[in-house]
A and B are shown apart, each in its own frame.
Chain A
Amino acid sequence: MAEAAFPASESDVADAVADAVRAGERLAITGGGSKAGSGGDLPGRALPMNRLAGVVDYDPAELVLTVRPGTPLAKVTTLVAGERQMLAFEPFDHGPVFGRESGAATIGGVVAAGVAGSRRVSAGGARDHLLGLRAVSGRGEIFVAGAKVVKNVTGFDLPKLAAGSWGRLFAMTELTLKVLPRPETTATLFLSRLDPQEAVQAMAAAMGSQAVVACAAHRPARDGEPSLTALRLEGFAPSVAARAAMLERVLADYGPLNHAGEIEGEDFWAGVRTLALLPLAPALWRINVPPSAGAAVAAVMERLGAAWLMDWAGGLIWAAVDGAGEEVRAAADRAGGHATLVRSSAQERATVPAFHPPAPGLAALEERVRRAFDPDGVFETGRF
């Protein structure tokens, strides 16, 4: 993949896009390359956004952060942590999932890929925290959408389209994100020896209780180790203590509820986040379903011999298994959800599309929406 340019400013980006349109070339917007293994190879020229980096404005009391897309995720996380705040959707670095060092992921990349961690189930995803943006369309035109305040309904909510667009609509040159206070206290509670069905029921009971559960995940039994179902509580210390006691009552039917030590708890969630709990070798699927269907999908994964994990109270299943594309997609379809092929061998990628095929009517509409931003298909690298 050749480098078209190495833009250092928004107008450089606009020029690069205009040049590509004139030359009939395609551009692949890249951030840190932490997810470069997703989808097909990137034909066309790279449009690296790394030099468009840095914080534009950060006012903690307004809960708003404006940042350029090439800013490393780690920098953003450290910056807001310094003000006892956080990006509540828990974006994470995909590097390790592809066997790379972590640290390369950029804020533009994680938002464009719609990356969100375990807290997505209670706090929303990247889409819910992207308030505004500046971008360059496939016409090479600079435009603004959304705003730099937490509450706004002026005009169409174009930033929602950016999250999860994988750089196929426009090149973001500035992002305004909502930040939130970091919880003062965090506690992790474990149930063990539940089967997937029981785990989904227990997580639903917890999420449906007044204990305000932030995250709920399940790691199945493996190699003689019993399964773990984890619930995370966050907030002020007296509140977390009261809610932990409440969960003991709510979950009394599911066996003892053990309080994890701080390190043990953090390890578990880090394992879910980096997927260190799954083997690194085979193809990796991300299956998005209604939580009530989580156990049925897990049963299919068991039958396929996949290593798997369940997050979002059953609504997200990560599964590592080679050559099972059809079965995985069928299981997601039956559950009313969808499955994304996140990582795979070049051979599998050549035959299995990364994204779940949309319904025909929807595919046509999505296509028209993409052309509304990128009429010439400059950003259509064919990766997906």
Chain B
Amino acid sequence: MSLVMPEPDLTTLARRAEIVAALRAIVPGEGVIDDPDELVPYESDGLTAYRQPPLLAVLPGTTAEVSAILAWCHANQVRVVPRGSGTSLSGGALPLADAVLLGLGKFNKILDINYVDRIAVVQPGVTNLADTRAVEDAGFYYAPDPSSQIACSIGGNVAENSGGVHCLKYGLTTNNVLGCEFVMMDGEVVRIGGTQLDPAGLDLLGVVVGSEGLLGVVTEVTVRILPKPETARALLIGFSTVEGAGQCVADTIAAGIIPAGMEMMDRPAIHAAEAFVNVGYPLDVDALLIVELDGVGAECDHLLGEIERIALANGAVSVRMSVDEAERVAFWAGRKAAFPAVGRISPDYYCMDGTIPRRRLREVLERIRALSDLYGLGVANVFHAGDGNLHPLILYDANVPGELNRAEAFGSDILRLCVEVGGVLTGEHGVGVEKRDLMPEMFTDADLKQQQRLKCAFDPKSLLNPGKVFPQLHRCAELGRMHVHAGRVTHPDLPRF
């Protein structure tokens, strides 16, 4: 692997036994793991190409314990990597040899549900799906639905600002969270946001969401819950060209329709999915759209007709409308199983996550095809078509020497292409270690330094999840250097860090 992580601190490595003892004094018994065999499950997250055993793992159960652990590590200059369920696809939870891995798995309780305020207060280790399960009997659900929702934690969702197939209409995590409690690296516990819609001061919640574990350890989250729509219906639409499918998406939005979900698959993805789940996807098409509508029955009926009309006007060769819930689920089955389906046709696959302006779709897919030929690796595309979030799955075999490197180089070229056409490196999976070194494609040095200065306001010693997101580590002292003009600091009355 070509990834360079921060040099392990030799003093920390040498103090391992002392660190174990100090953390056992905070979290007794099995809460501190130092046995190498027991640390194996923590070696990597969903980005399995990278592995690194942590120094040790600690599994606190209370905010007070998290605070004490962080305060001790802060005082002793020990790095910490937070971890939820370990499903990150960008290596956000990748351990460091000299860092304590802080697992939030024991934070698995739902603390409060309030249907008047339409909120749930949950601990960060609660899984995304468990959040919905807790409120569904009352007719509610938690809208962001990453495909990993049975496993991924709300804390991880907050850290990654995760999305899902419904986020065009219902937003990402950031649009569905009202408040949180988090612990800063020095052990201080901070509450931001609340149950009301607007924060009292700066919208710090807005930056903590999506901060990839770099600003603080989230120990409680207040999420908004929504009434479950009366009905959901889906259309399965085949197109002989990608342009037709792309134009259908654009025309749908131009007609004022924001569907609950709008997913596209290309020919290789359709074939892989159909071979895996056998739900009757058309195989003679170049692009397949799944459009989901939700809301009251009258709305779905009305819009199904509208979208069928738009699809046919854009050359759709097949249109099916789900007649019942079983059929709607069947339409989705192939899309939802796209990753494992691709896993069946290739020993390994590498999932990319760029976003592009939708109008550039055809060009981007053509260039991905050309790159595929250049690198000699296959690719299947699934695509959150409504919001332009592309998931090319690069097919490779890790056992063939050089293929992983080629897959990574191919992936980097795809992401560069996304940025070149006006898009971004990541739409929902985060930067982590995976896209860290590509950040300069999208941001100047000044842009990145400004982001790092924010990091310094939360964690001036850079001990929390170092080596992630930023390609170059700057010391906070250097970033925060004061402007001293003619030997004096302006506004000496203002506090400084």
Contact = CB atoms under 8 A, between A and B. Distances in A.
Interface of A: 21-22, 24, 26, 59-64, 84, 114, 116, 120-121, 124-125, 127-128, 137, 139, 141-145, 147-161, 163-165, 169, 180-184, 200-201, 204, 207-212, 235-236, 238-239, 241-243, 246, 288-292, 312, 315-316, 336-338, 355-356, 358-359, 361-373, 375-378, 380
Contacts of A157: 161, 174, 206-207, 209-210
B207 A160 contact: yes
Given A209-B227, A365-B458, A366-B201, A246 B207 contact: no
B195 interface: yes
A362 B301 CA distance: 49
A154 B494 CA distance: 32
Contact of B450 (A128, A137, A154, A159): A137
A328 B174 CA distance: 30
B227 A208 contact: yes
Interface string B249-278: 010011111100000000000000000000
A372 B198 contact: no
A239 B299 contact: yes
B380 interface: no
Contact of B168 (A150, A156, A373): A150
B422 A127 contact: no
Interface string B458-486: 10000000000100000000001011010
A369 B423 CA distance: 28
A242 B496 contact: no
Given A62-B359, A152-B424, 17 more contacts: A60-B254, A114-B203, A125-B198, A151-B172, A151-B427, A153-B163, A153-B427, A160-B207, A182-B256, A200-B116, A236-B299, A238-B298, A291-B118, A292-B114, A369-B202, A372-B454, A377-B491
Nearest to A246: B296
A375 B118 contact: no
Interface in B86-130: 114-119
Most buried by A among B171, B200, B384, B435: B200
A368 B457 contact: yes
Interface size, B (range): 35 or more
A157 B28 CA distance: 37
A169 to B, nearest CB: 8
A372 B427 contact: no
13 contacts: A21-B483, A24-B491, A137-B450, A153-B172, A154-B425, A154-B426, A155-B431, A155-B447, A157-B209, A208-B118, A210-B229, A236-B303, A292-B114
Contact of A376 (B203, B253, B443, B490): B490
Interface of B: 114-119, 139-140, 160-161, 163, 167-168, 171-172, 174-175, 184, 188-192, 194-207, 209-211, 227-230, 250, 253-258, 295-299, 301-303, 355-359, 384, 387-389, 422-431, 435, 439, 442-444, 446-448, 450-451, 453-458, 469, 480, 482-483, 485, 488-491, 494-497
B198 A377 contact: no
A355 B140 CA distance: 34
Given A63-B253, A153-B172, A143 B444 contact: yes
Nearest to A212: B295
Contacts of A142: 446
Contact of A366 (B202, B439, B497): B202
A160 B483 contact: no
B424 A338 contact: no
A59 B458 contact: no
B479 to A, nearest CB: 9
Given A157-B174, A158-B451, A127 B298 contact: no
Contacts of A371: 457, 480, 494-497
